Copies of this chain bind each other. A is one copy, B any other.
Amino acid sequence: MGKSLCLSLCFLVLFHGCICIAQQQQERQQNKCRISRLSAQEPSNRIQSEAGVTEIYDHNNQQLQCAGVAVVRYIIKPRGLLLPSYLNAPQLMYFIQGRGLQGIMISGCPETFQSFQESQQGVQQVGEQEEQQGGHQFSGDQHQKIREVQEGDVFVVSTGVGHFIYNNGNNRLILVSVIDISNDANQLDFQPRRFYLAGSPQNEFQQQRSPQESSGSNVFIGFNAERLAEAFNVDAQLIRKLQGQNDSRGNIVRVEGGLQAVFPQRGQEEQGSEQQEDRLHAHGNGFEEIICSLRLKQNIGEPRRADVYTPLGGRIGGITSFDLPILKGIVKLSARRAFLYKGAMLLPHYDMNAHSIIYAIRGSAKFQIVQNQGRTVFNDVVTAGRVIVVPQNFALMMKAGDSGFEFVAIKTDENGMINTLAGDLSLIRAMPVKAIASAYQISEEQAKELKFNRMEASIAPGRFRSESA
């Protein structure tokens, strides 16, 4: 495949010698950061399903390869269900809009959501006549914990963990998912690989080459139907459904009547149990792999959670492995979310230990990104819906447009750290005045200006700047 592509490329430049990197280029996305020009990407592919749309940012793009990630955006209509699947890499989702339910499926985790405890609520459609089947003592249903998610939530899913998402709100549920394919936990090649467990959806990460491939499938189709019937102890007719034969609904399907699963009221889950889990697990109990009860989400959108706040400039909040223990060693990603007011400036800075995958949520900003030799690799406006990678150590400065700018930055380290180059916490502030004067060939007076004139830490207010400085 890489080879044929390479060959045809070669024939095009026939007689000139030919430079072709073939499949290599695709495989080692890591360490591909010889970036001379960045761009703010839009989705390169869009898959329409019965109850929603899947938009894929081309993961073969050089900058996503550099960061070693794939990015997908899902738009799920009300009562839409993103079919259950698992991935060969951990992912961090950010919920941009709406509300929904996130189901997580891990073998051996307890089915703690049981409907017989609250039978008057939720599981009305489930007939009572099957209760004896298989010798179960309860009526209704039981399944693993399902989490509510909403705008502003970060949600993480580890490698190989089954999951599905359901829109139980009245508006579209929109989320962006960053899949860390260069994570150690992915031992396959540097391709995002989604294993669907139901339906027959087209694989969003595969380029369609043959009609047969584009039709898609779930993993059960690969097994012998008779064997599966034996494994599940059901008849062959039902196995055909399990295998998703003749299913053309795509990866987001409509749930007729709505998914009335067993789950507690919001609030109960949020404040009570989750906070307690957090306390239990924060100091590590040596059973990190028993991830059944690890907290998987955190809201980073709420103003009160901001870590940095400049009254006329904006605010920044974030999440690291200290906030969400599963990020530590297992998912190894972190995130920051910022809201810049009109004309506000995010002061020059760089990521010390991670790439930043920036998703523009609302508004726009003018970005400037500089590499190690001082060359500008990006100097343009980034608008809502675009994705741009800021490689590790590259210096970044941005200025919000007239409608402000909101973004989320996913970092490829469990505790992404930033060094600022101007302002109250900057590296310039860390140096003695005399060293600054010598380094820049300026007077000590000028050195003090460089060091002290900008008082804000990360965000400089826009037009009202003169008031605060």
Contact of A419 (CB < 8 Å), options: B86, B146, B369: B86
Enumerate A230-246 residues with CB–CB distance to B below 8 Å: 230-234, 238, 241-242, 244
User: What's the minimum C-beta distance from A410 to chain B, rounded to whole angstroms?
Assistant: 13
| Alpha-carbon separation in the docked complex, A161 to B352 (Å) | 7
In the complex, what residues of B have CB within 8 A of residue A103's CB?
430-432, 435
| Residues B238 and A34 in contact, CB atoms below 8 Å apart | no
Asked if A270 is at the interface (CB within 8 A of a chain B CB), the reply is: no
Most buried by B among A25, A67, A249: A25
User: What's the minimum C-beta distance from A163 to chain B, rounded to whole angstroms?
Assistant: 10
Asked if A44 is at the interface (CB within 8 A of a chain B CB), the reply is: no
| Alpha-carbon separation in the docked complex, A181 to B469 (Å) | 40
Contact of A395 (CB < 8 Å), options: B195, B368, B469: B195
User: What's the minimum C-beta distance from A425 to chain B, rounded to whole angstroms?
Assistant: 5
| Residues B31 and A106 in contact, CB atoms below 8 Å apart | no
**Main SS at interface, chain A:** loop
User: What's the minimum C-beta distance from A205 to chain B, rounded to whole angstroms?
Assistant: 9
| Alpha-carbon separation in the docked complex, A283 to B254 (Å) | 49
| Residues B452 and A133 in contact, CB atoms below 8 Å apart | yes
Enumerate A346-381 residues with CB–CB distance to B below 8 Å: 347-355, 368-377, 379
List 5 A-B pairs, Cβ < 8 Å. A10-B19, A127-B444, A195-B395, A222-B376, A223-B376
User: Given A434-B260, A439-B84, A439-B199 in contact, is the A222-B370 Cβ separation under 8 Å?
Assistant: yes
User: What's the minimum C-beta distance from A263 to chain B, rounded to whole angstroms?
Assistant: 9
| Residues B194 and A107 in contact, CB atoms below 8 Å apart | no
In the complex, what residues of B have CB within 8 A of residue A350's CB?
86, 160, 195, 219
Q: Which residue of B lies closest to A244 (CB)?
A: B440
The 8 A-B residue pairs with the shortest CB-CB distance in the complex, in nearest-first order: A222-B370, A160-B352, A10-B17, A217-B374, A17-B17, A198-B439, A261-B432, A105-B430
Asked if A144 is at the interface (CB within 8 A of a chain B CB), the reply is: yes
Contact of A28 (CB < 8 Å), options: B28, B108, B421: B28
User: What's the minimum C-beta distance from A157 to chain B, rounded to whole angstroms?
Assistant: 12
| Residues B223 and A348 in contact, CB atoms below 8 Å apart | yes
User: What's the minimum C-beta distance from A259 to chain B, rounded to whole angstroms?
Assistant: 5
| Residues B231 and A348 in contact, CB atoms below 8 Å apart | yes
In the complex, what residues of B have CB within 8 A of residue A446's CB?
234, 238, 241
Stretch from A91-99, A170-178, A184-192, A401-409 that touches the partner: A184-192
| Residues B162 and A430 in contact, CB atoms below 8 Å apart | yes
Enumerate A1-47 residues with CB–CB distance to B below 8 Å: 1-3, 6-25, 27-28, 30-34
In the complex, what residues of B have CB within 8 A of residue A412's CB?
187
| Residues B161 and A247 in contact, CB atoms below 8 Å apart | no
| Residues A393 and B193 in contact, CB atoms below 8 Å apart | yes
Q: Which residue of B lies closest to A3 (CB)?
A: B19
